[in-house]
Chain A
């Protein structure tokens, strides 16, 4: 952001919103100040103060806001642009997903990884929303109306500097207060997402996922859907073996500064959770444990397209082997899955691939994996007739 842009944004801030933001982060009012300003001091650093003009038409407003911004950023240890962005959205919890990976060092990510990251973030919020409404270990369809209303109100913010960061702005009052909740639905969802992900990571690091899942049998917080969403956000090397330092993913939250909805303390809900790449197999195992047992071996009908053909020519001179499909699932999710095909099925896949956007229908068992999903027990594969 250029300095001119920064000043333009500073000029749009509302004094009350800046004051609420500061108060939600440990700044308290100082009495006895003269003039139309609010003076605040920090609880943990008593000498540190903020001077916020009460009137946006004060001739020194931008000047003073630049000073406030710099002080906030310094104490929070965050860059100016990120704090400024949060000051612009006082009535929203802002979720950031940061990818730290060798591919993202230059602030770039493959287009496919970016799409997966955004979809994963969207699905993580959806899964958390469904669990807030109906806590079960698996949501067959994530189509709860409140969850969908929340997702519809969420906005994607501009990507930010710092490896690769996407931002989802979740307005606090996205869902009308019909659920008789003591705090807005959005806050419950974001709180659930952060707390549950932190608990999952903690169980991997400290105990075991079995212990964690057993402990919440009565009222499950973690769902297979949330695990799958977290897996989806990971930058993929597909078939490449994972290196020891394969990076990590961070979920970060900047809580809204609405004075009627105080933010949770860091001990109640962390505002940062780090998911190391090496935890992925455990998260996949958690997803598998949380899915209904019948799903693990249940044959299903899938519709999809053929994405890649990696077969080899056999002794009979015909090609067979691995094929990657893009499958459309019931809740409009699409996933990539690999299957090992016989030469007959491979011919069908080849025809579909050559036909451009040609769909296939297949029956088999979907086994989800941390990096690649697989179709096993493939019973049939056929080319779908073209609609025209």
Chain B
């Protein structure tokens, strides 16, 4: 496997682990979804109670992983999304099912990505999510820098909170 392949697989492993711990079903995208630029789908069937009316929620995720140290400024991380077409798809996505970008920031030395011992399995650093819905059109053909709020950690609690927001039909819009 190339380092890029390993990064991609670790991002799936991260998502599966976090989703499972949050009782959220995680499914690698089918071939049909793959063509739509969706890497994984998260589904939660849960009644959050009124006034939330959505009880069967699916989130479509595009997964990325990087070893580049992100710039952290004003409570957000920057990430350069290389594919302009992907950016277009994400910014024009409809509200349901929400389509999100998740980026796993890995440490630079490959040896630090994952360590395994009798007491713990450690996958270092973490992933953040953002919605690019409503983001401005890109003027750059090679890609677009996007920003991920540092509050939007892809963690079990963060994931449940995200689902609750969707259950209340909260629009997930891009915060530039």
The interface of chain A, by Cβ under 8 A from chain B, is 3-4, 6-7, 30, 32-35, 37, 39, 41, 46-51, 53, 58-64, 66-67, 70-71, 80
Contacts and interface: CB of A to CB of B under 8 A. Distances in A.
- Is the contact region of chain A dominated by helix, strand, or loop, or is it mixed? mixed
Contacts, number: 75
Contacts of A49: 54-56
A47 B93 contact: no
A51 B60 CA distance: 14
Contacts of B76: none
Contact of B46 (A47, A50, A70, A71): A47
A261 B60 CA distance: 36
Interface string B20-48: 00000000001111111010000001110
Interface stretch (B94-102, B114-122, B157-165): B94-102
A42 to B, nearest CB: 9
A46 B169 contact: no
Contacts of A62: 36
Contacts of B56: 41, 47-50, 71
A62 B96 CA distance: 11
A196 to B, nearest CB: 39
B17 interface: no
A27 to B, nearest CB: 11
A33 B94 contact: no
Given A3-B31, A3-B34, A47-B45, A59 B94 contact: yes
B55 A59 contact: no
B94 A66 contact: no
B97 A63 contact: yes
Nearest to B96: A51
Contacts of B96: 35, 37, 51, 53, 60, 64
A8 to B, nearest CB: 11
Interface in B45-98: 45-47, 51, 53-56, 58, 60, 92-97
A32 B53 contact: yes
A46 B55 contact: yes
Top 9 closest pairs, chain A to chain B, by CB: A60-B94, A49-B56, A3-B31, A47-B45, A3-B32, A59-B92, A51-B96, A47-B55, A3-B35
A66 B32 contact: yes
Contacts of B55: 41, 46-49
A76 to B, nearest CB: 15
A63 B93 contact: yes
Given A48-B55, A50-B56, 17 more contacts: A3-B34, A7-B32, A35-B96, A47-B55, A47-B56, A48-B45, A51-B54, A51-B96, A58-B94, A59-B93, A63-B38, A63-B93, A66-B36, A67-B60, A67-B97, A71-B56, A80-B32
